[in-house]
Structure 1
C-alpha cells in the first residue's frame, strides 16, 4: 500500500492555528463531561426506583431526536455559520443537563422529566454533529486534515480511558447530580470556546430547506463510495452493538470472571483507540477510504475471540487491535470525507451518513432479540463477527472505494 511520508516535525502543524487549538480544547472539555454522563444518567433513573423499562425509555428519547432531526441539522450546517450552530447546540445541551442535575439533586426528577431532558440533549446533538464534521475543513488546510482529525481524537480517547473510572467514584461518593452538573458545565465552557471561530456560513442557496435536502440526497446517491460506505456501516455498527455492548457482558459472565474481566476487555479496547490515534499521527496511507473500510473489519476480532472461548489474554489482544482498527478507520474516513466532499455539502452528506449509523442502534437490538430465540449466545456472537467481516469485505469490492484517495498539494496543483 502506498504511503505518503511526512516529517515528524510537521505533525504539530495544525497547532499553529489558534482556531484549531480552541476547537481541540472545546472537544476535550466536552468529552470530559460526556464520558461520565451515561453512568450518571443510568443511576439517576435507578435512584428514582426505575428499572430496565424506565432506563430504556430514557435512552430512546436521547437517541430518537438524532434520527428525526439529524437531516435538518445537516441542512442548516450548510446554510448558517457553523460556529453559531455549535455555540447554540452546546448551550442547549448545557441547559438540558443543568436542569436535569437540579431536578435530580432536589429529588424532583421522574422518568418523564429525565426523558424530556434527554430529548433536548438529543436535539442539540442532531445539530452539533453535522456542523462539527464540516468545521475542521474550514479551519485546517487540506494537507493537514489527517493530523487535525487525529489530534482531535487524541484527548477524547485519553478521556475515555480515565473519565469513566473518575465518574464512577463521583457518582458513588456524591450521587448522580454532581456528575450531571459537571457535564452541563463542560457543555457551557465548550460553547463559549466555539463561539466566534472563523466558520463562516457557506454561500446561501436561493432555494428553501426542502430543496436543499433534495439536492443533498441527490448528491449523496451520486457518490457511490459514500452511500455504499454508509450502508456497510449500518450493518457493521448494528452487529458491533449487538455483539460487544449486549452479548459481550453476558459471555464474560459465563465463561470468564464476569464484570472484572469485562472491565479489562473495555480497558483494552479504549487503549487500542488511543494507540490508533497515535498511529494516525505518523502513518499517512494513500488509499484513505480503502484503509478505513479494511480497518473497521478489525471489530470482528474480539467478538470472534469470545465466541471461540479463547483465553482472556487473547481476547484482550483482540480488543486492543479492534480499538486500533476503529480509530484508524475513523480518522481515515474523516480525512477522505473532508477532502472529497465540497465544503458547502459536508453538513448534509455527514447527516445522511450519520443517519445510517444511528438507524443501526435499534437494528442491532432487534437482530439480537430475534437471534436469541434461535441460537445460543456464543453462536449469535460469532454471527455478529461474521457480519462485520462480511460488511467490510463486500465494501472493499466496490471500485469507487479505491478511487477515494489522499489528495496531496501536488495532486491538487495538477
Structure 2
C-alpha cells in the first residue's frame, strides 16, 4: 500500500498515511460518545433507585459476552476483512446504545433492560477488539508502530478530558438519555469511516474454526510472557473496574459532590491518559513489556485515595497519575504485542489475552457488590488497590517478560 505522494518505507510519521488518519478519526468520533457513557450508565441505574448490586449486575452483563464471543471474534479477525468486522461491530453497538437511550428517555428502563442492552454492546465489543488490535500493523510499517499507537490514542484522550465534565453537566441537567443517544450516533459515524479501510484478511491456511482455536491456544501458551501478563491482567483489570467504575460513583455520591465531582475525577484520569500519550510520542523505552507492567500499577493510586477519603485535589492528582501510567502501559503493550506476534496470529492472540483479562471482571463486580454489604466501601476500595499492587509486583518477577523488548529497526 502506498500514499499518493511517497512509499510507506519513506514515510517519517504514520499521520501522513491517509487510511491511518481515517482510522484515527473514527476512533476520535467514537471516543466523543463513549467517554460519556459510563457516567450516563451509572446514573441511569442510580435514578431507578439501584445501588451497588444493580450497577454490578449491569456492568457484569456488559462483560459476559466478551468472554463468550471474543475467541470467535479473534478467529474472524484472522480470517475476514477487519474493516468489515469493524463496520458491523460499530453498527451493533450503536443499536444497543440507541435502544438504551430510548428506554431511559421514555421512563421504561429497568435494571433488566439496561443489562440486556449491555449484553448487546458487549457482543459488539467482542468482535471489534481483536480486529482493532491487528489493524494498526496493517496500516503502518513496523518502525512506526509505537508512534501510530500513541497517535491513535491522542485525539480520543483529548476528547476524554472534557467529555466526562460535559457528560456530568448533561446528565445533571437533562438526564442520562441524551448522553446515551450521542454515544449511539458516534458509533454510526465511526462505522462508515471504517468500512472502506484497506484491512484485508491476513493470509491464513484453509482450516476450520476449531483448528484455528487450537492452533491459537498453542501459540498463546507457548509465549510465557503473554499468558503470565494475561493472568496478572485478569486480577488488575477486575480490581480496577470494580473499584473505579462500580464503587467510584457511589463513593463520590456519598463522600463528595456526586456527579459533578465524579465527572472531575474522570476528567483528571482522562487528562492523565492524554499526558501519557504525549510521553509515548517522545519516549521509546527498550524494555517494552517491563514498562507496560510497571506503569499499569499506578491504577492503585486513585482507589487508595478514595478509600482514605482524601481531599478532592489529592484524588484528582492520583487519578491524573493513574491515567499517565495506564496510557504508557497500553501503548508499550500494544507495540510489544504487534512486534512479537505475527500478523496472521494477532486476532487470536489478542482474543485469548482479552478473554483472560475479562474472565474475572463479572465475578469481581459481583463480589465487590456483595462485599459492600459486609464492609464499608472504603475498605473494599483499599482491597482493590492492594490487589492491583500485588498483581503488578508478581508479574514483574517473571523472567520472560524482561525479554520482550523493542525490535531493532
TM range, smaller chain:
0.7 to 0.9
1:386 aligns with 2:386: yes
1:64-143 equivalence runs, <5 A: 64-105=64-105, 112-143=112-143
**Residue in structure 1 matched with residue 159 of structure 2 by the alignment:** 159
* Counterpart contact for 2:14–2:147, Cα < 8 Å: yes
**Residue in structure 2 matched with residue 406 of structure 1 by the alignment:** 406
- C-alpha displacement of 1:246: 4.1
Kindly provide the CA deviation profile for residues 329-353 of structure 1, in whole angstroms up to 9, marking residues without a partner as x: 0110011001101111111111111
**Residue in structure 2 matched with residue 229 of structure 1 by the alignment:** 229
* Counterpart contact for 1:271–1:323, Cα < 8 Å: yes
What is the distance in 2 between the residues matched to 1:106 and 1:246? 25
What is the distance in 2 between the residues matched to 1:172 and 1:117? 22
**Residue in structure 2 matched with residue 397 of structure 1 by the alignment:** 397
* Counterpart contact for 2:60–2:366, Cα < 8 Å: no
**Residue in structure 1 matched with residue 362 of structure 2 by the alignment:** 362
1:63 aligns with 2:63: yes
* Counterpart contact for 2:165–2:267, Cα < 8 Å: no
**Residue in structure 2 matched with residue 268 of structure 1 by the alignment:** 268
From the superposition, tell whether residues 248 and 46 of structure 1 become closer, same or farther in structure 2 (CA, over 3 Å): closer
Q: Which runs of 5+ in 1 are unaligned?
A: 1-9, 410-414
From the superposition, tell whether residues 248 and 402 of structure 1 become closer, same or farther in structure 2 (CA, over 3 Å): same
Length-normalised TM-score, structure 2: 0.87
**Residue in structure 2 matched with residue 51 of structure 1 by the alignment:** 50
Q: CA RMSD in A?
A: 2.9
Q: What secondary structure, in the 3-state scheme, does the structure 2 residue paired with 1:69 have? A: helix
**Residue in structure 1 matched with residue 351 of structure 2 by the alignment:** 351
- C-alpha displacement of 1:172: 4.5
* Counterpart contact for 1:297–1:388, Cα < 8 Å: yes
From the superposition, tell whether residues 243 and 394 of structure 1 become closer, same or farther in structure 2 (CA, over 3 Å): same
From the superposition, tell whether residues 253 and 91 of structure 1 become closer, same or farther in structure 2 (CA, over 3 Å): closer
Q: What secondary structure, in the 3-state scheme, does the structure 1 residue paired with 2:234 have? A: helix
From the superposition, tell whether residues 12 and 250 of structure 1 become closer, same or farther in structure 2 (CA, over 3 Å): farther
Kindly provide the CA deviation profile for residues 79-128 of structure 1, in whole angstroms up to 9, marking residues without a partner as x: 11101101111122223333444455556655555444333222111100
What is the distance in 1 between the residues matched to 2:91 and 2:231? 33
- C-alpha displacement of 1:44: 5.1
What is the distance in 2 between the residues matched to 1:84 and 1:299? 34
- C-alpha displacement of 1:382: 3.4
Kindly provide the CA deviation profile for residues 340-373 of structure 1, in whole angstroms up to 9, marking residues without a partner as x: 0111111111111111222232232345356557
- C-alpha displacement of 1:239: 2.2
What is the distance in 2 between the residues matched to 1:383 and 1:107? 37
* Counterpart contact for 1:289–1:332, Cα < 8 Å: yes
* Counterpart contact for 1:50–1:111, Cα < 8 Å: no
1:237-316 equivalence runs, <5 A: 237-248=237-248, 262-307=262-307, 312-316=312-316
Q: Which runs of 5+ in 2 are unaligned?
A: 1-9
What is the distance in 2 between the residues matched to 1:221 and 1:46? 42
What is the distance in 2 between the residues matched to 1:20 and 1:393? 36
What is the distance in 1 between the residues matched to 2:407 and 2:132? 21
Q: What secondary structure, in the 3-state scheme, does the structure 2 residue paired with 1:277 have? A: helix
* Counterpart contact for 2:172–2:259, Cα < 8 Å: no
Q: What secondary structure, in the 3-state scheme, does the structure 2 residue paired with 1:364 have? A: helix
Counting matched residue pairs gives 399
Q: What secondary structure, in the 3-state scheme, does the structure 1 residue paired with 2:405 have? A: coil
* Bigger Cα displacement from structure 2, 282-291 vs 53-62: 53-62
* Counterpart contact for 1:11–1:147, Cα < 8 Å: no
Q: What secondary structure, in the 3-state scheme, does the structure 2 residue paired with 1:206 have? A: coil
Q: What secondary structure, in the 3-state scheme, does the structure 1 residue paired with 2:13 have? A: helix
**Residue in structure 2 matched with residue 318 of structure 1 by the alignment:** 318
- C-alpha displacement of 1:196: 1.5
**Residue in structure 2 matched with residue 35 of structure 1 by the alignment:** 35
From the superposition, tell whether residues 80 and 389 of structure 1 become closer, same or farther in structure 2 (CA, over 3 Å): same
What is the distance in 2 between the residues matched to 1:360 and 1:11? 42
What is the distance in 2 between the residues matched to 1:105 and 1:236? 35
- C-alpha displacement of 1:217: 1.0
What is the distance in 2 between the residues matched to 1:371 and 1:45? 19
